[in-house]
Chain A
C-alpha cells in the first residue's frame, strides 16, 4: 500500500523558500499570489500490517521535525 506523508511548515514559521518562490512567480508575471509555503511530500510503500500508530511514530521520529513542521498521513488505495 502507498502512503503519502505531507510535511508542511507550522503556521508562524517563516518560510524563506516559499517567499523566494512567490517572488519568482511575480517575476514571471503571475499576479494575485499572496503567499507561498513550500512543504515536502514523502511517499512510502508499506505492508498492510503497518499500523497508523507506526506511521505516526515514523513521522514524529524522523520524517517531520515537530519543532517547525506539521505532518499529515494519507493512505492511498493501491
Chain B
C-alpha cells in the first residue's frame, strides 16, 4: 500500500516519535516524513499527520503549551482545517487541546502519580476515520504512560461531545480521573483525534498486544478508499 503520505512531528522532548513513525510505516508500507517543530511548512499533499507522545519543551508552563505555539503547529492547524487527518497521542493530545484543535484540557492525574501500564478501553465510536476498524463497544487493551491525562471539560462541552459521538474511546476502568472516563476525543469534523493511550505501542505481538493496529489500518484504508 505505497503512496500513503504521512508526517510525524518531532518537538524538543518528544520521545514516541520513532515508535509512531515505525507504526505508520509498518501499517501503511510507506515511511512517514519526519518534521521538526521549527519547520514552518509541512510536506505537500499529506494524508495523515501524527503528533507523538513525550514531554515537549519539558512540559514547561503546561503540558503541550509551548509545542502548541511552535511554528509547525500553524501549518498543522491549517491542514486540520482543510480536513487532513491529525492524530495526537498522549503529549500529542495535550498539544491538540492547547492548540485549540480539540476541546477541554488534560490535567494532572487525579491520583497524582504517573500511570504507566496497559489499560482496557471501550471503543465508543466506530464510525470515525480512525476507528472504523473496531466495533462499537469493543474492549481493547492499549498502554498508557502519562502524568497529565486527566481529561477536563465543562459539563456543557462534555454533553456536546457525547451527543455528537465525539468520544472515541473511554477507559473501562479508573485510570486518571478523566471526566466521564474519556480517553480520546474527536473534533467536530471528525478528522482530528486526540487520545492518551498509545496505539503505536500495540501494533505487533512482540509489543504484548496488537489492539492499536486497527487504528492505523482504519486511517490508511479510509484514505486509500477515498
- Which of A25-33, A44-52, A62-70 sits within the interface? A62-70
Cα–Cα distance between A62 and B152 once the two chains are bound (Å): 18
Report whether A20 and B152 are in contact in the complex, using a CB–CB cutoff of 8 Å. Answer: no
> Chain A at the B interface: mostly helix, strand, loop or mixed?
helix
Q: With A16-B177, A67-B97 as known contacts, state yes or no: A62 contacts B112, CB within 8 Å.
A: no
B109 contacts which chain A residues (CB < 8 A)? 16
Question: Count of B residues near A, CB < 8 Å?
Answer: 19
Question: What distance in Å separates the Cβ of A22 from its nearest Cβ neighbour in chain B?
Answer: 12
B110 contacts which chain A residues (CB < 8 A)? 14, 16
> Chain B at the A interface: mostly helix, strand, loop or mixed?
loop
Closest to B157 in A: A67
Closest to B69 in A: A62
Q: With A13-B107, A14-B177, A16-B109 as known contacts, state yes or no: A68 contacts B61, CB within 8 Å.
A: no
B96-118 interface with A by 8 A CB criterion: 97-98, 103-105, 107-112
Closest to B109 in A: A16
Report whether B105 and A65 are in contact in the complex, using a CB–CB cutoff of 8 Å. Answer: yes
Report whether B112 and A20 are in contact in the complex, using a CB–CB cutoff of 8 Å. Answer: yes
Query: Within 8 Å of chain A (Cβ to Cβ): is B150?
Result: yes
> What are the nearest 7 A-B pairs in CB distance?
A67-B105, A68-B105, A16-B108, A20-B112, A16-B110, A16-B112, A65-B105
26 of the cross-chain contacts (CB-CB < 8 Å) are A13-B107, A14-B110, A14-B150, A14-B177, A16-B107, A16-B108, A16-B109, A16-B110, A16-B111, A16-B150, A16-B177, A20-B112, A61-B69, A62-B61, A62-B65, A62-B69, A63-B61, A65-B65, A65-B105, A67-B97, A67-B105, A67-B152, A67-B153, A68-B105, A68-B107, A68-B152
Given A67-B103, A67-B105, A68-B152, 15 further pairs, Cβ under 8 A: A13-B152, A14-B107, A14-B150, A14-B177, A17-B108, A17-B112, A20-B112, A61-B69, A62-B61, A62-B65, A63-B61, A65-B105, A67-B97, A67-B104, A68-B107
